[in-house]
Amino acid sequence: MAKMLLKNYSLFKQLPVKKYFAKCCVGFSYGLSFPLTLTVLDLWLKDFGVSNTTIGIFSLFHWPFTLKFMCGIFIENYDIAYFSQKIGRERSWIIVSHFILIAGIIGMANSNPSSGLQTLIFFATLTALGDGCKNIVLYPYQINGINKNQFGYVASVVGFGHKIGIITTKVLALYLANIFGWKVAYYVAAVSIFLLMIMILFIQPPQKYQKPKRNLSFSDSVEKSLTIPFKKIIEKKDGLYIVLVLSLYKSADFMMQKMSRLFLMEIGFSKIEMANIVQLFGSIAAIVGGLTGGYIIKKIGIPKAMIYFGNGHAISFFSYLIFTKIGANVSFLSLVILGEAFTGGCVTSAFLAFLYTKCKTGSLYALLWAFHEMNGIFFMGISGIIADGVGWRLYFTLVPVIYSIVLAILWGMQRRISLKHLISFVVSKR
């Protein structure tokens, strides 16, 4: 362990403190806003007695987040009148995206799930749109000033900030909701995001994005930011593998994150226990897992790490079956969350490192991420239907098995087997 920490420290020294802090801030920004339309909203709806099926379907209204690659086209190629000339294109888009995000959060705070979900759906959709735009404009800050050898470690740094943001949002929201109600919790989130926006505006934008750019036609912008870069990826020998891995790698994780927290509330865990163990302790374990994952990626490479981490994460899901027998046991919950969160942190570092190796622009990052997110929305959307249909015991048995599909894809990619031959191989084994 000591040797691993020393190795991590030597990697850390490769990044100046300012860059390290900037990448942590970017990750923190992602983590602070993302749960507001997913995990935190799920718990809010559950608290109002909304069914698991409805909560699962509610994830489908997170779809604008997956369209952030369209935002990327505008962010990379178009100025905002007056503001872009005064403070720069990136900073002006940071302000616009954050104000859309904050407006959506305030609207959610003033919605009431018990009197009708339409208003809440609208503002949750607006929040997801602002969140997606904000993530795209901040993407260049993640990969600025690093080389390929640092992808694994930088992914863990961004993941560290992301988990800190998740801790802040989930834990604080549960505590505030328990004391003052969900409206206050969302108002505090909006203020926190505004203050973070002010901090981010002081970070120096990446050099290549500082020069003024000529506004292009929309078709030229699409070709420059999306069509040409994506065509280069898909024409590679493993192009389809790349798309499939990005789409499916975290499918089981999406389904577990969506329903496992609802399951824990249903069997009797309180909001405070959820905040302390699931969110706070779980996020700390995920941070440690992410940093550990960054070190392991450096040692064994990204493809192998993705396989090992994914296997460990899938195995950790089976532990929820024990809860169906013993009920709300706090000690066992701590053990389960430790395993799930630690392996989940490793998985996130490997996934981000894999994504970094494929993306050169923010729009391409957003497009490839969209495959991941759209698949996630689909699986989260059907998770409640499956849970209500088959029951918790069968649900927690089926979800980890889904990962076997991803394992086969990763194995074929690592062995450089064509997708056609891989499918034939799997079918013949059956």
Predicted local distance difference test score (pLDDT) of residue 104: 92
> Considering the chain, what is the average pLDDT of its residues?
78
Does 5 reside within a domain? no
- Are 155 and 353 in contact by the 8 Å Cβ rule? The answer is yes
Domain assignment present for 181? yes
Whether the predicted pLDDT of 6 surpasses 70 = no
Tokens representing 357 are 């190796």
- Taking residues 273-293, report their average pLDDT: 83
Q: Which of 20-34, 69-83, 359-373, 413-427 has the lowest mean pLDDT?
A: 413-427
* Helix (H), strand (E) at residue 172: helix 151-179
**What are the counts of helices (DSSP H) followed by strands (DSSP E) for the chain?**
22, 0
Q: Could you tell me the pLDDT band of residue 401, with boundaries at 50, 70 and 90? A: confident
What's residue 70's pLDDT?
Answer: 74
Where residue 234 sits, what CATH number does that domain have? 1.20.1250.20
pLDDT at residue 297 tops 90? no
Weakest mean pLDDT among 41-45, 211-215, 245-249? 211-215
11-43 burial code (b ≥16 CB/10 A, e <16): beeebeeebbebbbbbbbbbbbbbbbbbbbbbb
pLDDT of residue 2: 44
Question: Residue 363: is its pLDDT beyond 60?
Answer: yes
- Which contacts (CB < 8 Å, 24+ apart) does range 236-242 have? 237/416, 238/413, 238/416, 240/419, 241/409, 241/412, 241/413, 241/419, 242/358, 242/368
Output DSSP code: residue 60: G
Tell me the C-alpha distance between 278 and 386, whole Å.
23
The pLDDT of residue 244 is above 60 = yes
Residue 66, amino acid? T
The whole-number average pLDDT for the span 62-81 is 74
Residue 11 lies in a domain: no
Type of residue at 251: S
250 pLDDT tier (thresholds 50, 70, 90): confident
Q: Does the predicted model carry a pTM greater than 0.85?
A: no
Rg of the chain's alpha carbons, rounded to an integer? 21
Contact 311, 246 (CB under 8 A): no
Task: Please indicate, yes or no, if residue 2 is contained in any of the structural domains.
Answer: no
According to the model, what pLDDT value does residue 211 have? 45
Count Cβ atoms within 10 A of the Cβ of residue 278 and give its class: 0-12 exposed, 13-18 middle, 19 or more buried: buried
Asked, for residue 295, whether it belongs to a domain, the answer is yes
Is 180 inside a domain boundary? yes
Structurally, how many domains does the chain consist of? 1
For residue 330, which of 341, 338, 43 has the smallest C-alpha distance?
A: 338
* Residue 425 falls inside a structural domain: yes
Contact, 68 vs 135, CB < 8 A?
yes
The total of other beta-carbon atoms located within 10 Å of residue 212's CB is: 10
Q: What is the pLDDT of residue 151?
A: 64
CA distance 190 to 304: 40
349: in domain: yes
The residue range of the domain holding 273 is: 17-209+218-429
**pLDDT tens digits for range 191-241:** 999 998 998 888 777 655 444 445 567 777 777 767 777 777 777 776 777
